[in-house]
Amino acid sequence: MNGNEIIDLNDFEERQVNLEDVFLDPNNPRFSGKEKLVSDSRIIEESIQRTCFEKMHDFGIEELKENIKRVGFLPIDKIVVRRIADSKKYVVVEGNRRITAIKQLKIEHESGEIELSDAVLNSILRFTVYVYKGKEPDIAWIIQGIRHISGIKNWKPYQQAKLLIKLVKERKIKIEDAGKAVGIGSIKSARLMRSYYAYEQSTQDEEFGEYLKEDDFSFFQEAIFTAINTPIQQWLEWDEKEKHFKNIENLRKYLSWIVSVEGNPPRIERSNDVRDFVAKAMVNYPSLFKKFESSVDMHINRLKYEIWNLEEEPKELEEWLRKLKELNSQIENLPDVKIKLSNGSEKFVDLLNDLKKIVEAHLKALGIK
């Protein structure tokens, strides 16, 4: 395999396996988070497999199960497994959803809840797989990433970023090639990687790092790294070379806005609000941003309200100017001769005098004598 190849096909071989010898992967990239990796020696433990089984039911197992129950487990799209160290058992590399579905069908058949035909039952009890024989420790990440990032079951951005880091940093693959392999453009790949480094740095913060969840990744991808050198990046002093924030004080402030501590809701709940309002306040309304920054209880909704008020004020003044111009034009075109010759000229004179007083009062208020 040369340096630019993602996978060496010579590392795979077809083999018939029994369902009872195939185990779900507790380190499945779908479960990506802060959990510690489970070693090979513990993969087959009943409690660990039970946890995997329960987690996998969150990933659309029912529809898949119904399809297999109807037509059997077709060998068209083979599952990929690897041998568990010091064992004759296998752990799934790619295909955890399908293995979960057929294990569930087996349980329901044996309990009498359903009755599978002999053909369907035989198709799930023994089937052909690809066995990975290579030495790549992140093979599950790589295969699932290539299959899913641009496929039907899209990964979350954090998982996409983590795979790109593995390919670029650990496998020394160019970012453009890594992006192409998983169906992501080079610009988005670079954004994801910056966001990953920033997120990982933030998880190490002594005060707020433990409260960050994987879903908070959007507060880095969508709020900070939407472009090069955004206002938030400048405020946090992002170091592109070292791939970290240098202003730790501001980073801690930022984290305090976006995380939930001890059940208290965060001041900012949507990453888009950082991009659309906090950044806008930084650039256009610095005094308002300082107010938000120094406050401990000013919610993002209050900031949004005050920005809207500031933006509406010029529009309101423009509307008054338009009305004054229209009034001025109408008064200029008063038919003076007709009014003078009419019986109701006094009414016009009185109204014009009233207007004169109003205009003089406004001029005085504006400091005009």
8 neighbors 1 (Cβ within 8 angstroms): yes
State pTM to two decimals. Answer: 0.64
- Is 321 inside a domain boundary? no
Q: Are residues 165 and 140 in the same domain?
A: no
> Going by C-beta distance under 8 Å and a sequence separation of 6 or more, which residues neighbour residue 160?
145, 149, 182, 184, 192
Q: Are residues 53 and 34 in the same domain?
A: yes
Q: Of 302, 324, 344, which closes a domain? A: 302
Q: Are residues 130 and 190 in the same domain?
A: no
- Counting residues of the chain whose pLDDT is more than 90, the rounded percentage is 53
Q: Are residues 70 and 111 in the same domain?
A: yes
> Going by C-beta distance under 8 Å and a sequence separation of 6 or more, which residues neighbour residue 12?
80, 130, 131, 132, 133
Q: Are residues 162 and 296 in the same domain?
A: yes
- Is 313 inside a domain boundary? no
Q: Are residues 359 and 341 in the same domain?
A: yes
pLDDT of residue 93: 92
Q: Are residues 182 and 262 in the same domain?
A: yes
Helix (H, G, I), strand (E, B) or coil at 327: helix
Q: Are residues 127 and 233 in the same domain?
A: no
pLDDT of residue 154: 61
- Is 320 inside a domain boundary? no
Q: Are residues 112 and 45 in the same domain?
A: yes
- Is 318 inside a domain boundary? no
Q: Could you read off the pLDDT of 98-137 as tens digits, one per residue?
A: 999 999 999 999 999 999 999 999 999 999 999 999 888 7
What are the strands, taking DSSP E only, across the chain? 12-18, 22-23, 79-83, 90-94, 126-132, 238-239, 244-245
Q: Are residues 296 and 165 in the same domain?
A: yes
191 neighbors 199 (Cβ within 8 angstroms): no
Q: How far is CA 361 from the centre of its chain?
A: 56
Residues of the chain with pLDDT under 70: 1-7, 32-35, 146-154, 313-314, 369
- Is 326 inside a domain boundary? no
Q: Of 148, 175, 196, which closes a domain? A: 148
- Is 134 inside a domain boundary? yes
Q: Could you read off the pLDDT of 253-287 as tens digits, one per residue?
A: 999 999 998 888 999 999 999 999 999 999 999 99
Q: What is the C-alpha to C-alpha distance for residues 300 and 270, in angstroms, rounded to an integer?
A: 9
pLDDT of residue 33: 62
Amino acid identity of residue 186, one-letter, is: S
- Is 3 inside a domain boundary? no
Q: What is the C-alpha to C-alpha distance for residues 290 and 72, in angstroms, rounded to an integer?
A: 63
Helix (H, G, I), strand (E, B) or coil at 75: coil
pLDDT of residue 152: 31
What total of structural domains would you count in the chain? 3
Q: Of 148, 179, 214, which closes a domain? A: 148
Q: Are residues 79 and 215 in the same domain?
A: no
For the record, the structure tokens of 289 come out as 């941003």
Q: Could you read off the pLDDT of 218-238 as tens digits, one per residue?
A: 999 999 999 899 999 999 999
> Nearest to residue 248, comparing CAs of 198, 291, 289?
198
Domain range for 290 is: 157-302
- Is 308 inside a domain boundary? no
Q: Are residues 222 and 342 in the same domain?
A: no
